[in-house]
Amino acid sequence: MPMHVIITKMSTYPLLPRSIGGWSFLLSILIGATEARGQCNNPPTLGNDTTLCAGETLLITPGPGFMSYLWDNGSPFNLRAVSETGTYTCTVQTDVLLENAVVNGDFSEGAAGFTSDYVPGTGGTWGLLSAEGTYAVTTNAQNVHNNFSPCNDHSGSGNMLVVNGAATAGATIWCQTVPVTPNTDYAFSTWLSSVTPSNPAVLQFTIDGVLLGTPFTASGTTCDWQEFHVTWNSGASTSVQLCITNQNTAEDGNDFALDEITLSPFCTYTVSIDVDVQPFPVVELGPDTTTCPGTPIVLDATTANATAYRWQDGSTEALFTAQDSGLYRVEVSNGRCSTTDSLRVRYSDCGVHIALPNVFTPNGDGPNAVFTPIAMRGVQRIALSVFNRWGQEVFSSASFDFGWSGRSFGGSLVPEGVYYWTLAYTSREGEEGEQHGTVTVLR
C-alpha cells in the first residue's frame, strides 16, 4: 500500500506559545522567518506502509528539525515505537511561512489598506509631519520632518510608515481586517524604529482587541530597527482586526517608523503510515516416528493464513510424503513471518521376531548363566512364564530384557532338566500372539 501524505495549513492544537513578545521570543529558529515565505512543497514521510511480525517493534519518525510534532496519541516527540496494527499519524510544523495575510504590510503601495486614528501629514514648519498625530509613507524619515533622523526603511531601500506620535494614549496607529484560516498557527511580526531619540514610542498590538504579547518599546537609538514577534492561533475565526496603538503620551519626541507588518501561517504537514501486525504461523508436525519399511508417512503442515510452504527438498505443498528414514523440515510463512518445525522418521524391520535360548548353565562359571532373550523385535508388551515338568510356574517376567538365573520363586536352585516356557506378546501394530518353547537347565 502506498504512503499517505496530507499537506495542510490547519492545526487544532497549540504548536507554539501563544503570547511571546519582543526579545522574550523563545524559538530563535523563527527569527527572520517572515522573510522565508514559500509553498508547503517539501512534505516529510513516515516511510512506506509496513507489515510486522508479532513481537516486533518499528521506530517511525517524520525526521528531525521540525518546530513541533504531534502524534495521534498526543505524543510531542519526533520518534515513536509501534508494535500494533493501526494507522499512525503525525502533524509537524516548519519554520516556513506562507503568504502574508496583511495587505500592503511593507507600504510599497503607499498609505493604503489600513485605518488609523491619526491623519496623513498636513505640513508645517518642519515638513509634512510637523503636527502631532500625523503619519506619512516615505523612504527616508528626514524627508517628512527636518528634525527626524535620516532613517531608511528596514530593508534599506523601500517604503515605511513614519509617525509623529500624539499625546493621546491608546490612539490607533494602524488597523486592518485580514482573512485567516480557522485553527491555524500564525506568526505576527513588525519592525519598529525611533526617528527621534527622546521618549521612544511604546506600541501595543492586538487582534480583535486581545493583547498580543506585552507592550513593545522602541530603541532609544534612532534608525535602530527592532522586531516584535509573536505566534497566534486563529481558533474559530475566519477574519480578524489587527491593530497597533501607541501607549506613550509624551509630546516631546515619541516619533517612530513602522515597517513590514506581517501575519503569516506556518507550513504544517500531516503524514501517516499503516502498520499491519501479523501472527507467526503455528505448525506442528508431531513427534519423531518409527514405522515399517514401505509404509509412507504423510506429514501435514497445513496452517491457517499461510502464504508459503517450503520443505527441505524445496517442495511447496502443505503435505509432504516421507518414504525414507531421515530428518524432515518445513518452513511455513505468513507474509514475512515464518515458523519452522521438523521431525525424524525412522524405518525399521516390522513383524514379530522372538528368539530365546534352548539351554543355559546357571552354575556360576559366568558364560550362558542366565536365560535371557537372544532377539526381541516388533513387540511392545510381553508376558513370560517358565514351568517345570509338573506344570508348576518357577519364573515370570514382563520385561523385554528379562533374565532367569535358574532359581525358583523361593530362591532355591531348580533341578537340572527341561523346562517349558510361554511368551504372550502384543506387537507394535497392536496384534496379540503367543509363542512356546523349552529350555534345558544344565549345571
pLDDT of residue 304: 87
One domain, residues 218 and 173: yes
- CA neighbor of 422 nearest in space, from 399, 438, 403, 442: 438
31 compared with 292, residue with greater pLDDT: 292
Question: For 371-430, what is each residue's pLDDT tens digit?
Answer: 999 988 888 999 999 999 999 999 999 999 999 999 999 899 999 999 999 999 998 878
The boundaries of the domain holding residue 79 are 4-99+270-275
CB neighbour burial string for 24-40, b if at least 16 within 10 angstroms, e if fewer: ebeeeebeebbeeeeeb
One domain, residues 324 and 339: yes
pLDDT of residue 378: 83
One domain, residues 360 and 405: yes
Q: Indicate whether 45 pLDDT > 80.
A: yes
CATH code of residue 335? 2.60.40.10
Q: Indicate whether 4 pLDDT > 80.
A: no
- Of 242, 275, 308, the one marking the end of a domain is 275
Q: What are phi and psi of 376, to 5 degrees?
A: -150, 105
Q: Are 271 and 89 in contact, with CB atoms under 8 Å apart?
A: yes
In a domain, 185, yes or no: no
CATH code of residue 375? 2.60.40.1220
* Burial (Cβ within 10 Å: 0-12, 13-18, ≥19) of residue 7: middle
Mean pLDDT of 298-324: 93
Q: DSSP letter for 35, please.
A: G
Average pLDDT, the chain: 87
pLDDT of residue 39: 63
Q: Indicate whether 306 pLDDT > 60.
A: yes
Q: Indicate whether 106 pLDDT > 50.
A: yes
- What cell does 170 get? 491608546
Q: Indicate whether 94 pLDDT > 70.
A: yes
One domain, residues 365 and 312: no
In a domain, 196, yes or no: yes
Residues in the chain: 443
In a domain, 109, yes or no: no
- Where are the extended beta strands (E) located within 121-209? 134-138, 160-164, 171-179, 185-194, 202-207
Question: For 336-371, what is each residue's pLDDT tens digit?
Answer: 899 999 999 988 777 788 999 999 999 878 788 999
Give Cα separations from 10 to 14, 182, 332 (angstroms): 11, 7, 47
Q: What's the total number of domains in the chain?
A: 4
One domain, residues 294 and 313: yes
Of the ranges 242-251, 277-286, 347-356, which one carries the lowest mean pLDDT score?
347-356
One domain, residues 338 and 369: no
pLDDT of residue 15: 29
- Of 297, 321, 347, the one marking the end of a domain is 347
Q: What are phi and psi of 34, to 5 degrees?
A: -65, -15
In a domain, 112, yes or no: no
Q: Indicate whether 443 pLDDT > 90.
A: no
pLDDT of residue 8: 30
CATH code of residue 18? 2.60.40
Question: Is 422 in a helix, a strand, or coil?
Answer: strand
One domain, residues 361 and 404: yes
- Percent of the chain past pLDDT 90, that is, above it, reads 72
- Of 224, 247, 275, the one marking the end of a domain is 275
